[in-house]
Structure 1
Amino acid sequence: MALLPDPEPDSWSAMPISPRQLTASLLAADHIAERQTIAAFVADAATRPAPNPFPETSVGAVLQVWRQRAAEFQSFSVEAAGLTSLLATLSDLSLDEPLMQEILRAGPHTANVVHRGDGCRIVGAVLYGKPGFALPVLPIPRAKRPGTAPRSRARVTPGQLDLFTQAGT
């Protein structure tokens, strides 16, 4: 019995990480300055996994590729989110450390998410478009949408001394 090749992945089921998990992991990655923008892109219904010829990689390979892309992006005026954070994080790691890469696309935009193999510990992520395309403006995922400041539960009773207003006099 001959085995047929797997069809080309065209859905999230081809990725070992669900979009919900990847979004949550990105939002938790405090070292990525533009993590909310990238997470919103990953969470968007139009975003799909893209062909990924090298999902298993290393810090050294990722660093080399993204240093080159940084120069290309500057030359061609390509907007990117997360690139500075990715390069900074990679420069602190051992070059031979193994990593995994997820590639996602929607229209003219691509996101590359680099993690330590479990989809939870995100090393970095870059969202970019084709030359001449601005980064997408998407709503921030609900789980981490900044809200109003929490209300203080402390009550001020009438006649209570407010030390902060008295301090200036």
Structure 2
Amino acid sequence: MPISPRQLTASLLAADHIADRHLIAAFVAQAATQPAPNPFPETSVGAVSQVWRQRTAEFQSFAVEVAGLTCLLTTLSDLSLDEPLMQEILRAGPHTVNVFHRGDGCRIVGAVLYGKPGVALPVLPIPRARRPGSVPRSRARVMHGQLDLFTQTGT
């Protein structure tokens, strides 16, 4: 049974390990975004890892803009190669998103949004649905050792 776009949007927003989750969720939430043919809905971590490592090189060669790919590959590297995954594919115009989850549509492993060569990623409004207690994105991703110009000092 396919996962509804509304459920995927909510699950993507809850996937804190995906840096571009707001952009990807906004794409999934659009009325124009529809399920696409999905030849391999059932897959594995090993297969997904192999396919997307190859696509990384292709995307670089053909100047394809992409969101979420680095986070997907990082997450996959921590999982067992034979772990089963489910894949959802959705499209709107020249853009496609592939979402990988553990079979329930709630536990998102990763998602990749990309367009055709030379086409910029869509500029979309961020979905209103936010989890209670979430922090603004500008402060949520501060890396250790990174200078935060917006931090107030006690002086």
The TM-score bracket by the shorter chain reads 0.7 to 0.9
In the alignment of these two chains, the number of paired residues is 136
What's the counterpart of residue 70 of structure 2? 84
What's the counterpart of residue 122 of structure 2? 136
Change beyond 3 A, Cα 1:41–1:91: same
What's the counterpart of residue 25 of structure 2? 39
Matched, 1:110 2:96: yes
* Aligned ranges 1:15-164 → 2 under 5 Å: 16-144=2-130
Return the offset for 1:144.
Answer: 2.4
Aligned residues: percent identity? 85
SS of the aligned residue for 1:144 comes to: coil
What's the counterpart of residue 155 of structure 1? none
Unpaired segments of 5 or more residues in structure 1? 1-14, 149-166
Unpaired segments of 5 or more residues in structure 2? 137-153
What's the counterpart of residue 141 of structure 2? none
RMSD over aligned CA atoms reads 1.8
SS of the aligned residue for 1:93 comes to: coil
What's the counterpart of residue 153 of structure 1? none
1-side partners of 2:119 and 2:35: how far apart? Answer: 20
1-side partners of 2:15 and 2:51: how far apart? Answer: 22
Q: Which has the larger radius of gyration?
A: 1
2-side partners of 1:50 and 1:21: how far apart? Answer: 17
1-side partners of 2:50 and 2:130: how far apart? Answer: 32
1-side partners of 2:64 and 2:5: how far apart? Answer: 25
Return the offset for 1:147.
Answer: 8.7
SS of the aligned residue for 2:76 comes to: helix
1-side partners of 2:33 and 2:118: how far apart? Answer: 20
2-side partners of 1:96 and 1:30: how far apart? Answer: 24
**Structure 1 stretches (4+) deviating beyond 4 angstroms?**
145-148
SS of the aligned residue for 2:129 comes to: helix
Give TM-score scaled by structure 2 length: 0.84
Give TM-score scaled by structure 1 length: 0.77
Greater RCO structure (CA 8 Å; 6+ sep): 2
2-side partners of 1:64 and 1:99: how far apart? Answer: 14
SS of the aligned residue for 1:101 comes to: strand
